[in-house]
Amino acid sequence: KATKYVKGARLQKQCVPFLHYNGGVYRCAQAKQWGWTQGRRPKRSAEFLLHMLTNAESNAKLQGLDVDSLVIKRIQLNKAPKMQHRTYRAHGRINSYMSSPCHMEMLLTEEEQVVPKREEEVAQKEKIPQTKLKKQKLMALE
């Protein structure tokens, strides 16, 4: 499901809502399905994310996990140290040319299957009013 969504964002067919850090982000009609108004179609970020998802999928296959039941538990992006280059300008000037890389961390787990409770356990947990409990205690004492 995540791979399908990221592929749509990469092909710029799907909008990604910007909930935080959205100053200057334009409005997008497709963001309405997320209950938001602002969104973009980040092509380059989607390519990096798609690469991470395919890498995680191949790692899961190697470890013997069921790929169809994998769920993204956490995604974290941290700033990395800026890489500095030089760009040569007119009249003998030199300016810095900085890139802003990041560290990506993704944690996938297998989805736990929900096991229904037995009917006996559900029947035992019926609520009994306090007045009825007090009457039962009094009857037991007599």
Domain span including residue 16: 2-111+118-141
Q: Read off the CATH number of the domain in which 96 is found.
A: 3.90.470.10
Domain count along the chain: 1
What distance in Å separates the CA atoms of residue 50 and residue 57, rounded to the nearest whole number? 10
Which residue ranges in the chain fall short of pLDDT 50? Answer: none
What distance in Å separates the CA atoms of residue 53 and residue 59, rounded to the nearest whole number? 10
Q: Write phi, then psi, for 131 (nearest 5 degrees).
A: -65, -40
Its pTM stands at 0.65
pLDDT tens per residue across span 110-136: 888 777 777 766 666 677 788 888 888
Q: How many CB atoms lie within 10 A of CB 9?
A: 22
Pair 56, 66: CB distance under 8 Å? no
What distance in Å separates the CA atoms of residue 28 and residue 47, rounded to the nearest whole number? 21
